[in-house]
């Protein structure tokens, strides 16, 4: 009986040792996956922010400004205050920085170093903007047809189309993640060589929503879709003949061609 109990105790010890050997890397792997998920969610937020900023600063020269803001607001320390002026915030304590000494010391540790997520903060920044993106869907073809129609009369007296037939803009961010024993390096690490994997996130935003800032702009756009607006100079000239008593009805041709009444409201709004 004692001999049987001794055998059972020995087998339990072996099972525990084997289980710890298998489960210990898994425990650190779960932590690594959690950090990757958090980094991916942060990249998604930064991608949406970059797309919106691209509509505010559409010039290519402003990409450096957006890159600095993305690095400070999303990939640095979480408690960094948002400031207009450029600053040098501390590293994010969850991901660290590939260039910092703390990251190097972490990499030297056993299981924790082999599964730790470390980013290169200097690589975090905006990707090049892409304008006019999107596959030619049915709605986009209709919009292009309307846009081409409006451009036919654009530039005439009182007409101003000024619409983009494909106002989609894609922008995003990219950041390099240092490779470890479980995360392989990428051949193209966000455009740079090195022992890094690339994590990027892109977002698409509609730049031109076909909205009018005021009634005058809406009037000009509507006129660009009315072929009769091209006859306005002729109508204005003929209306001069209405000065004669026998042709007084012709006075009504003054501004009649292409006239858009912006004071008309639907019945529920009257």
pLDDT of residue 17: 76
Domain boundary among 176, 206, 236: 206
pLDDT of residue 105: 47
Do residue 17 and residue 125 come from a single domain?
Answer: yes
Domain boundary among 206, 227, 259: 206
pLDDT of residue 208: 72
- Report the C-alpha gap between 103 and 204 in whole angstroms: 34
* pTM beyond cutoff 0.85: no
pLDDT of residue 9: 58
Specify if 3 maps to a domain: no
Do residue 157 and residue 235 come from a single domain?
Answer: no
Residue 57 tokens read as 């600063």
Do residue 256 and residue 182 come from a single domain?
Answer: no
Do residue 86 and residue 140 come from a single domain?
Answer: yes
Do residue 216 and residue 188 come from a single domain?
Answer: no
Q: Which helix (H) or strand (E) covers residue 203, if one does?
A: strand 196-206
Specify if 5 maps to a domain: no
Do residue 61 and residue 125 come from a single domain?
Answer: yes
Question: Cα 218 from chain centroid?
Answer: 28
DSSP letter for each residue of 221-236: HHHTT-GGGGGHHHHH
Tens of pLDDT, residue by residue, the chain (270 residues):
555 555 555 677 777 777 777 777 777 778 888 888 888 999 899 888 888 887 776 555 555 556 777 888 888 887 777 777 667 777 777 786 655 544 444 445 555 566 778 888 777 777 777 777 766 677 778 877 877 878 777 877 778 877 777 778 888 888 888 887 777 777 655 655 567 888 888 888 887 767 777 888 888 888 888 888 888 888 888 888 888 887 888 888 888 888 888 888 777 665
pLDDT of residue 192: 58
Do residue 222 and residue 185 come from a single domain?
Answer: no
Would you call 87 helix, strand, or coil by DSSP? coil
Domain boundary among 206, 229, 248: 206
Specify if 95 maps to a domain: yes
Specify if 4 maps to a domain: no
In a 10 Å sphere around its CB, with 0-12 CB exposed, 13-18 middle and 19+ buried, how is residue 78 labelled?
A: exposed
Asked whether 176 and 198 are in contact (CB, 8 A), the reply is: yes
Specify if 1 maps to a domain: no
DSSP letter for each residue of 13-56: HHHHHHHHHHHHHHHHHHHHHHHHHHHHHHHHHHHHHHHHHHHH
Asked whether 98 and 178 are in contact (CB, 8 A), the reply is: yes
Specify if 40 maps to a domain: yes
Would you call 71 helix, strand, or coil by DSSP? helix
Specify if 229 maps to a domain: yes
- Report the C-alpha gap between 178 and 116 in whole angstroms: 9
Do residue 158 and residue 227 come from a single domain?
Answer: no
Do residue 201 and residue 262 come from a single domain?
Answer: no
Domain count, the chain: 2
Q: Which of 112, 87, 107 is nearest to 97 (CA)?
A: 107
Specify if 2 maps to a domain: no
pLDDT of residue 113: 61
Q: Which of 59, 121, 119, 56 is nearest to 88 (CA)?
A: 121
Residues linked to residue 176 through DSSP beta bridges, in sequence order = 120, 198
How many CB atoms within 10 Å of residue 53? 20
Show the domain range for 163: 11-206
Do residue 89 and residue 192 come from a single domain?
Answer: yes
Do residue 218 and residue 199 come from a single domain?
Answer: no
- Report the C-alpha gap between 228 and 253 in whole angstroms: 12
- Report the C-alpha gap between 69 and 231 in whole angstroms: 52
Do residue 97 and residue 165 come from a single domain?
Answer: yes
């Amino acid at each position: 009986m004692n001999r049987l109990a001794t055998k059972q105790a020995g087998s339990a010890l072996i099972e525990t040792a084997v289980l710890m050997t298998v489960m210990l890397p898994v425990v650190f792997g779960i932590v690594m996956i959690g950090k990757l998920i958090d980094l991916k969610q942060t990249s998604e937020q930064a991608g949406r922010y970059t797309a919106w900023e691209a509509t505010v600063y559409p010039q290519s020269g402003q990409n450096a400004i957006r890159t600095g803001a993305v690095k400070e607001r999303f990939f640095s320390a979480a408690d960094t205050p948002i400031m207009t002026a450029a600053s040098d915030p501390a590293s994010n304590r969850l991901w660290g920085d590939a260039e910092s000494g703390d990251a190097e010391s972490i990499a030297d540790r056993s299981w924790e170093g082999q599964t730790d997520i470390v980013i290169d903060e200097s690589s975090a920044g905006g990707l090049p903007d892409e304008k006019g993106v999107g596959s030619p869907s049915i709605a986009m073809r209709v919009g292009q047809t309307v846009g081409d129609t409006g451009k036919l009369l654009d530039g005439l007296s009182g007409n101003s189309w000024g619409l983009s037939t494909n106002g989609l803009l894609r922008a995003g961010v990219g950041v390099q993640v240092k490779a470890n024993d479980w995360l392989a390096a990428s051949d193209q690490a966000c455009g740079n060589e090195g022992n890094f994997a690339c994590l990027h996130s892109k977002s698409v935003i509609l730049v031109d929503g076909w909205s009018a800032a005021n009634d005058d702009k809406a009037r000009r756009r509507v006129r660009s879709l009315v072929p009769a607006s091209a006859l306005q100079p002729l109508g204005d000239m003929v209306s001069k003949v209405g000065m004669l008593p026998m042709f007084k009805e012709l006075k009504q041709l003054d501004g009649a061609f292409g006239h858009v009444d912006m004071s008309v409201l639907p019945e529920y709004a009257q």
